Chain A
């Protein structure tokens, strides 16, 4: 259950729209059901009152949209940013991907978003209504007479279970209370895989990555993947194969993508959220983050604007690639 209410957000959006501070509002739009929320650009107070939603399913990270949307308008656009979204926001600013002057950022607190797949795992298909009430979520289905009560914390999205920060690192205005950077267990899963034998690791990733359908959703939702022309879309690159032709293709795609965002990935978790095949793509990104932290010192992409990403930086005393394994083997 979110602490800040829909009404608070609407009031803010409408007042900023009406006093002319902003021209448009990037917010969450109402769907067919209570959980299918669509990122929407609102232009008027009426549109906002009718279509704006704020609930436990507003997971979409808007930072990425600013690249395209700020180019299209004259004035400012209002964007609501959850704490984790602000990291992506900063990272894009660091890379000069949009004009800060054209954005009015309102930070909003987030108590963690629910994962509809987890809800359905408990309640089954046929959900007709979802009501968030305190720590409980009431799910009404077509097949049960009484609503099913689910603990909100049991259906939290993976990225929210392992939330890294409730603190906003960028905003023009903050609604609600500011949180703190959280000491999360987000690298535990990575460590677990690292502890496997190479054969087990290979089997694990083979099972996960073989499901890839190359829909590019991970790439297209990623706030770090904002290249004007992706190498995987370029027919001259030789890798624009569109289909997971065999086990090489699907590994190649994900290795290259993860590597390209290594050091820039803020671990917002959009890739895993959008994957239609539930591939835990965040485990690839987190591996890079974990390695970078271990090799070159703690680094959180997006924590501050203008910081230099570790892979485009160096020191003369860096660890040798070969030592990486020696160190790990001695630690193990």
Chain B
């Protein structure tokens, strides 16, 4: 473990930014935090987390897949893949780090998604332990410890110092560059902080939320639960929950005709949208109840069934904070799971 003083964090950023593009959470004019490209003057945010999740770095909301040039009856396909820039994302919370594992299982399973894979290969994740979790946090429900974030390098920040621990080869390589700016240290201060956080975690209002009643093999049991109707009755069918979610990974592929060629691009899509499954001959999820159910069943039953019981939710609490009608996965789990409280 190595450390530096809080004042020298800026020099650490400067050092990292020499070799790779660095993104850190920074405050916006409206007070919320957003991952911002670091340059001199960009200040590390004290906010708990960003509104948009860091999945953008690997699975951007919109990316060009390829281009076509057409002439008469002929088509030329142009491979435009160029995701080769090294970058570092600093300050990723434990929940969001876990979300990469969930996305990896989708995009890195055969056939590998080369766009995502290239970004993963070129990205270094520096995580940041939480000190003041919000009431909306429930990462511990999914076995995530916010005091012990994973990632290539784990970072703890106290009032005066910043501690670094590298976990992977990529992390070790990055830490080597920071050798001059940091010094070797004991884990005492970090251990003290961890203890403090775990005490806070026990006090969180959602501390007792469990995944009991969910998981692979529960489809039959949960699918026809009458509570879906009640839970979804005022769902607006917008995509807020999906788009702020760090683990939602549905996408659409669309073509855009520029007048000089066609760009085929991929963009996030939402199973909450009425148009998501619409086909020429009909729609297999006609009402919002079915679409609503799909989103939560996918996170809590279908995904774990295909992925060794791993839930596709990390408890970051973004949907709790952002849903226009405050309907969210916690309310679903309490209502449908039935065994909570």
A residues sitting closer than 8 Å to B (CB atoms) are 31-33, 36-41, 60, 65, 117, 121, 124-128, 142-143, 207, 211, 213-217, 219-221, 233, 235, 240-245, 273-274, 276-278
Q: Which of B200, B244, B267, B331 makes the CB contact (< 8 A) with A38?
A: B331
Q: Is the CB of B265 within 8 A of A245?
A: yes
CA distance A215 to B272 in the complex (A): 10
Q: Is the CB of A32 within 8 A of B234?
A: no
Q: Is the CB of A277 within 8 A of B204?
A: no
Given the interface pairs A60-B325, A241-B256, A276-B51, the reply to whether A125 lies near B238 with Cβ below 8 Å is no
In addition to A33-B205, A233-B274, 13 A-B residue pairs with Cβ atoms within 8 Å of each other are A32-B330, A126-B135, A213-B52, A213-B244, A214-B243, A217-B324, A219-B238, A245-B256, A245-B267, A276-B51, A276-B243, A276-B244, A278-B31
Q: Is the CB of B240 within 8 A of A126?
A: no
Chain B residues, Cβ within 8 Å of A38: 234, 325-327, 331
Q: Which of B135, B233, B243, B324 makes the CB contact (< 8 A) with A41?
A: B233
CA distance A135 to B305 in the complex (A): 51
Chain B residues, Cβ within 8 Å of A274: 238, 240, 324
Q: Is the CB of A217 within 8 A of B236?
A: yes
CA distance A60 to B203 in the complex (A): 30
Interface core residue of B136, B234, B242, B270 (most chain A CB under 10 Å):
B234
Q: Is the CB of B32 within 8 A of A278?
A: yes
Task: Please report whether the interface of chain A is mostly helix, strand, loop or mixed according to DSSP.
Answer: loop
Q: Which of B205, B239, B256 makes the CB contact (< 8 A) with A215?
A: B239
16 contacts between A and B (CB under 8 A): A31-B326, A31-B331, A39-B234, A125-B135, A126-B133, A142-B203, A211-B28, A214-B243, A215-B242, A215-B244, A220-B324, A243-B267, A243-B268, A245-B62, A273-B324, A277-B51
CA distance A233 to B270 in the complex (A): 12
Give the number of residue pairs across the A-B interface with Cβ within 8 Å.
122
State the 3 A-B residue pairs at the shortest beta-carbon distance, nearest first.
Answer: A243-B267, A274-B324, A125-B134
B236 → chain A closest CB, angstroms:
4
Q: Which of A211, A217, A233, A243 makes the CB contact (< 8 A) with B62?
A: A243
Chain A residues, Cβ within 8 Å of B322: 276
Given the interface pairs A38-B325, A242-B269, A244-B61, the reply to whether A215 lies near B200 with Cβ below 8 Å is no
B249-283 vs A, CB cutoff 8 Å, 1 = contact: the mask equals 00010101000000001011110011100000000
Chain B residues, Cβ within 8 Å of A273: 324
Chain B residues, Cβ within 8 Å of A278: 30-32
Given the interface pairs A243-B62, A277-B51, the reply to whether A221 lies near B134 with Cβ below 8 Å is no
A320 → chain B closest CB, angstroms:
33
Q: Is the CB of A127 within 8 A of B135?
A: yes
**Which B214-253 residues have C-beta < 8 A from chain A?**
233-234, 236-240, 242-244, 252
B residues sitting closer than 8 Å to A (CB atoms) are 28-32, 34, 48, 51-52, 61-62, 132-136, 200, 203-206, 233-234, 236-240, 242-244, 252, 254, 256, 265, 267-270, 273-275, 320, 322, 324-328, 330-331
Q: Which of B132, B269, B324 makes the CB contact (< 8 A) with A221?
A: B324
Q: Is the CB of B238 within 8 A of A215?
A: yes
Interface core residue of B29, B233, B237, B252 (most chain A CB under 10 Å):
B233
Q: Name which residue of chain A comes closest to B233, CB basis.
A: A41
Chain B residues, Cβ within 8 Å of A31: 326, 331
Given the interface pairs A38-B331, A221-B236, the reply to whether A143 lies near B254 with Cβ below 8 Å is no
Chain A residues, Cβ within 8 Å of B51: 276-277
A310 → chain B closest CB, angstroms:
28
Chain B residues, Cβ within 8 Å of A207: 29
Q: Which of B200, B238, B252 makes the CB contact (< 8 A) with A142?
A: B200
Chain A residues, Cβ within 8 Å of B134: 125-127
Interface core residue of B61, B252, B268, B326 (most chain A CB under 10 Å):
B326
Chain B residues, Cβ within 8 Å of A217: 236, 238-240, 324
B230 → chain A closest CB, angstroms:
8
Given the interface pairs A40-B233, A217-B236, the reply to whether A32 lies near B206 with Cβ below 8 Å is yes
Q: Name which residue of chain A comes closest to B331, CB basis.
A: A32
CA distance A127 to B320 in the complex (A): 13
B136 → chain A closest CB, angstroms:
8
Q: Name which residue of chain B comes closest to A59, CB basis.
A: B324
Q: Is the CB of B61 within 8 A of A243?
A: yes
Chain A residues, Cβ within 8 Å of B135: 33, 125-128, 142
Given the interface pairs A217-B236, A233-B275, the reply to whether A242 lies near B268 with Cβ below 8 Å is yes
B240 → chain A closest CB, angstroms:
4
CA distance A124 to B200 in the complex (A): 15
A273 → chain B closest CB, angstroms:
7
Q: Name which residue of chain B comes closest to A34, CB basis.
A: B135
Chain A residues, Cβ within 8 Å of B133: 125-126
Q: Is the CB of A221 within 8 A of B238?
A: yes
Q: Is the CB of B31 within 8 A of A121?
A: yes
Interface core residue of A36, A276, A278 (most chain B CB under 10 Å):
A276
Q: Is the CB of B52 within 8 A of A242?
A: no
CA distance A243 to B60 in the complex (A): 10
B36 → chain A closest CB, angstroms:
12
CA distance A274 to B61 in the complex (A): 20
B28 → chain A closest CB, angstroms:
8
Q: Name which residue of chain B comes closest to A278, CB basis.
A: B30
Q: Is the CB of B236 within 8 A of A244?
A: no
CA distance A11 to B25 in the complex (A): 48
Chain B residues, Cβ within 8 Å of A220: 236-238, 324
Chain A residues, Cβ within 8 Å of B237: 220
